[in-house]
Structure 1
Amino acid sequence: MNIDFTNNDDQTALIEVTVEPQDYKEDFESEIKSYQKKVNLKGFRKGKTPKSMIRKMYGSSVLTEIVTKKLQDALFEYLDSEKVDVLGQPIPSEDQEPLDFKVGEDLSYSFKFDLGLVPDFELAGIDDSYHYYDAVISDEVIDQQIDTLRRRGGTRESVESDFEEDDLISFNAREMEAGEVKDNGLETTFEVMVSMMEDEFKEKVLAAKVGDAIEFDIFKVEKDMSDEKVRKYLMNLDEEEADQEVNPEFRGEIVDATRLIKADLDEEFLTTAFGEEVKTEEEAREFIKKDLKQYLDEQADSLLFQEVHDKLMEETEIDMPDAFLKRWMLHNQNEDGSEPMTAEDIEQRYDDQFRESLRWQLISDKILKKYEVTVEKEEILEELGRRIQQYMPGQQLNQEVYNQILQSLANDEKQVQDAHGQIRTTKMFKALKVDLNLDKEEISQDDFEAKLKDIAEARQREAEASQASQDDLEIGEEE
């Protein structure tokens, strides 16, 4: 076996592998004998077919298969042993001459391949200063969270009068006409919380008690309720009745009123809400603060990671073997069974997507190597387990069912690769973040969430503008 490696000046290389007769003859003869034992031809007993006939019938395909395997083994063994980092896979050189595999002539077979080499480059931008939002959790936010939990765990008790903001009032109401209850008019029941009432309606309710009747405009009962929702939720009209004419004036009797009694912050309530480790209000507040801070820091990390990504992509110079990569894409384009693309299609896809994606992959690989980031099997199983909980929120799975689902995901190559990639990226960023120069800005939760919304909307506008520009370009090319 002879291997010649030539490093070019454009981030490519030429490798020529020559398979000599002594490399394949023994394996060829062994395979022919194996065929002779298995083949059963008419006129010959099994295993007695002459070798000459076996060579004539199967020799060319056997020789092709053996030489090809010898070639592949030698090629990838060389790249591995010499630590040649390649982009994509080797592809046949454009000047590779066609080969004719001839049995019995003891020929040498030479194969030429072009390689794209991983460029040598330095990361740029890591030493820059990066803005980081350090969200502050206020006592007021924690108070709101505690209050929400107490409401959810609270109970309701009936009240007769002196209604308060959180009281829920139930009405039996009838449509009116000319100051009287309308014959055969609409009758409906509904309930509304005092805090959600329109001011004029609320004033009448607060002056009344259970059993009293008040007159009102049904379209002015609840704040910010559209006419459509009034018809659906207060008049209880179905879709077929929604357009019927109804007088707005109603007379409604207050038939029930209940008041929310918030749950006490005792140990039983707290352990149910937070787990066995939380037994006091102080511990609950600390738990909420830590949980909120973790969530907001994850959002801040996401913004930081995007800024780091953009900076590294903008400032890191990588000399890419563009011509080779386009040839490689063209050579391998139909492996997934998709429709073939023209050279022009490849050119556009390379410029629009592939090149920048590959640049980021190279940058990521360099960072991963620098920080020696690895992903263990146990971490992948933990991530898949976390995803099971996301897929089935609130469901209590017994251990057997959980294990079956986990095993199914672990056998799914796409799921495993996706989990591996996510874990690797997360660990890479955490390692990189330690060395970043962060310009921290303390910001309230409300202001930070408003900032996140503004950034998301800006990115959406950019994406829409980019898509519109791309659509215009495609239309222009069609014309």
Structure 2
Amino acid sequence: MLNPQSLNCFKAGKDWGFLVKTLLKFIALEITLDKHASNQASVKIKLNEADYQPKVDAKLKDYAKKAAIKGFRPGKAPLSMVKNMYGISLLVDEINAILGEALNSYLKEQTFKILGDPLPVEKADDSIDWKTQKDFEFEYKIGFVDNISLSLDSKIEGTNYSIKVDDKLINETLDNLKNQYGKSSNPETSQAGDNIYGELKSEDGALTQTLALPTSKLSKKLAEKFIGISSGAVIEFDSKSVKKDEWSDAFGLEKEPKGNFTFTVKNINRTETAEMNQEFFDKIFGPEAVKTEEEFINKVKETLQGSYDRESKVFTEEELKKVLTENTKIDLPVEFLKEWLLRANEGKVTSEDVENEFPIYANQLTWSLISNHIAKENSVQAEHEEVIEKTKEMIREQFASSGLGMQMEASMDMFVDNYLKGNEGQNYMNMLTSVQNDKVMSLIKEKIKLKENNSVLMNSRNF
């Protein structure tokens, strides 16, 4: 995957403080901007000797006081020798520092929004002579968006999707849980619903595979061949007696084989349905979380509904992002961004990778710009306390079925602190962005015209 240093717009660096502001006042750099497209431009910076030499000389003198050069006591080497040895290196470092500070400060003053990072323009036929050259000119390519026009009102229509958990879904889930947590045994003779462990072979020898065959997933006619058998039995059948879906669902084969087959039974596994008792309740939700069958069923329903509420929320918001993206015209500097992505991920991605993944990246970047615009226009901001609470919710969800309960809550502050400090602080920034996105999405739902779409989900789900 592309790694464009997240999707954030170019950040022009930290506040360099009084020293940098003072320095830039005295460095009268010549900076020019050439907008050669609605979303791309070049920035040229010219330096003359007065812009950089005083700082280079000061650094040379300071370095000479500390330099340990063979044949001289520390700090006693002639300045000319130090300059000859380290002058160009210090010159390059100083010019790079001046360029970085000047470019950052200049771009911060612009009204348009910079995307990616400025890209130095490399001129193969115009190499720099660091020994003799006094005046320098550097050029950078930039990509930007000039303005974003979006009005959040009832003219924009979206859909709020929700999923209703019905009785059929609850009953199917209960059956799955009772089967999943039932007691296993290895009877001598098989019966309907058993799992038969053995070796499948084709007559021509092209296929040999050991597998566990769930008889519940076989057609009634084929399943009869696997009922009333014992370990060591050899069942013969041909491909015509196997339905197309059975090869994948029951036998676990991606391709549908042809011909005659044998299945040699090695073991039989039977799972007895678990009883609805305290032991069963504790396995699902933790010790003493529920105590009666009614409480258990309600907890299952609550858990299912919570899970589908989260999924429907994600789906709703992804659809709303598409709606907002379609209603907002943002002209991205496509060629610039492709070049920047390739340079920023040099060695990790190819031009083909960038081309293939760019549409996804462009959609994500467009939404990021829209979200940040809405946040700025409506003074939406994530607060530290909100980050803490969202992190707690995330941790509670992760440990929901662990049964830790009070022990986890007692150590919650430690869990939160450890998580937010992880990944060199990036976890905190990600959570901060997540909180802001939640607040932006809530604002969008308030402002636009939102119709409800209630669906009934009929598929069961394992816990």
- Tell me the TM-score normalised to structure 2 length: 0.60
Instruction: Indicate the SS of the match to 2:119.
Output: strand
* 1:388–1:29 CA distance, 2 compared to 1 (3 A): farther
Give the fraction of aligned pairs with identical amino acids, expressed as a percent: 23
Aligned partner of 1:128 among 156, 174, 177? 156
Pairing 1:263–2:276 present: yes
1:100 aligns with 2:99: no
1:412 corresponds to? 423
How far off its partner does 1:243 sit?
A: 6.9
> What is the CA deviation profile of residues 302-340 of structure 1, one whole-angstrom value per residue up to 9, with x for unaligned ones?
33233223333334322233344345446x25x442476
Are 1:6 and 1:13, in contact at CA under 8 Å, matched by a contact in 2? yes
Query: 1:81-92 to 2 correspondence within 5 Å?
Result: 81-82=109-110, 85-92=113-120
Q: Which residue of 2 is the match for residue 137 of structure 1?
A: 165
Alpha-carbon separation, structure 1, partners of 2:357 and 2:338 = 7
Q: In the alignment, what sits opposite 1:337?
A: 347
| Counterparts of residues 68-467 of structure 1 (less than 5 Å) | 68-82=96-110, 85-93=113-121, 98-102=127-131, 107-123=134-150, 127-139=155-167, 141-142=169-170, 189-190=188-189, 192=191, 224=219, 234-237=229-232, 262-263=275-276, 274=285, 284=296, 286-329=298-341, 332=343, 335-338=345-348, 341=351, 345=352, 348-349=355-356, 352-370=359-377, 372-374=380-382, 376=384, 378=388, 382=392, 385=395, 389=399, 407=418, 410-412=421-423, 416=427, 425-426=437-438, 428-446=440-458, 449=459
Larger Rg: 1
When residues 78 and 150 of structure 1 are mapped into structure 2, their CA distance, relative to the original with a 3 A threshold, is same
Q: C-alpha deviations, 1:173-228, integer Å up to 9, x for none? A: xxxxxxxxxxxxxxxx13546x89xxxxxxxxxxxxxxxxxxxxxxx999737869
Q: What amino acid maps onto 1:88 in structure 2?
A: G
Distance 1:92-1:346 versus aligned 2 partners, 3 A rule? farther
**Counterparts in 2 of 1:361 and 1:233: CA distance versus 1, 3 Å:** farther
User: Counterparts of 2:191 and 2:59 in 1: how far apart (Å)?
Assistant: 86
Give the C-alpha shift of residue 230 in structure 1.
Answer: 5.8
Match of 1:56 in 2: 84
Q: Counterpart of 1:359 in 2: which secondary structure?
A: helix
Mapped to 2, the partners of 1:84 and 1:278 lie a distance apart of 58
Contact 2:39 2:144 (C-alpha < 8 Å) held by counterparts:
yes
Amino acid at match of 1:358: L
CA distance in 2 between counterparts of 1:230 and 1:124 reads: 67
Q: Tell me the distance in 2 between the aligned counterparts of 1:226 and 1:375.
A: 64
Quickly say closer, same or farther: Cα 1:52–1:147, change in 2 above 3 A.
closer
> Contact conserved, 2:178 with 2:273, CA < 8 A, in 1?
no
1:389: Cα distance to partner?
Answer: 4.8
Cα displacement (A) at 1:277: 6.9
Letter in 2 for 1:312: L
**CA distance, structure 1, for counterparts of residue 395 and residue 151 of structure 2:** 37
Amino acid at match of 1:294: G
- Deviates most, 118-127 or 23-32: 118-127
- Secondary structure of 1:298's counterpart equals helix
Out of 70, 95, 111, the position equivalent to 1:67 is 95
Q: Give RMSD over aligned pairs.
A: 5.4
How far apart are 1:48 and its partner, in Å?
1.5
Q: State the secondary structure of the residue aligned to 2:139.
A: strand
User: What's the offset of the Cα at 1:364?
Assistant: 3.4
CA shift, 1:55, in A, is 1.0
Deviation of 1:60 after TM superposition, in Å, equals 1.3
Q: Secondary structure at the match of 2:189?
A: strand
Q: Secondary structure of the residue that 1:190 maps to in structure 2?
A: coil
**Which structure 2 residue ranges, 5 or more long, are not aligned?**
1-26, 195-214, 238-259, 263-269
Q: Deviations over 1:131-188 (max 9, x none)?
A: 44433334555566567778888999xxxxxxxxxxx9x97xxxxxxxxxxxxxxxxx
Contact kept? 2:162, 2:313, Cα under 8 Å: no
Aligned length: 375
- d(CA) in 2 for partners of 1:351 and 1:42? 55
Aligned to 1:34, the other structure's residue is in SS state: helix
Query: Would you say the 8 A contact 1:19–1:108 is kept in 2?
Result: yes
| 1:62 CA drift (Å) | 0.7
Q: Name the residue aligned to 1:34.
A: 62
User: Residues of 2 paired with 1:356 and 1:75: CA distance?
Assistant: 28
Q: Distance in 2 between matches of 1:338 and 1:269?
A: 50
Structure 1 residues without counterparts, runs of 5 or longer: 157-167, 172-188, 197-219, 248-256, 453-479
Shift of 1:75: 1.7
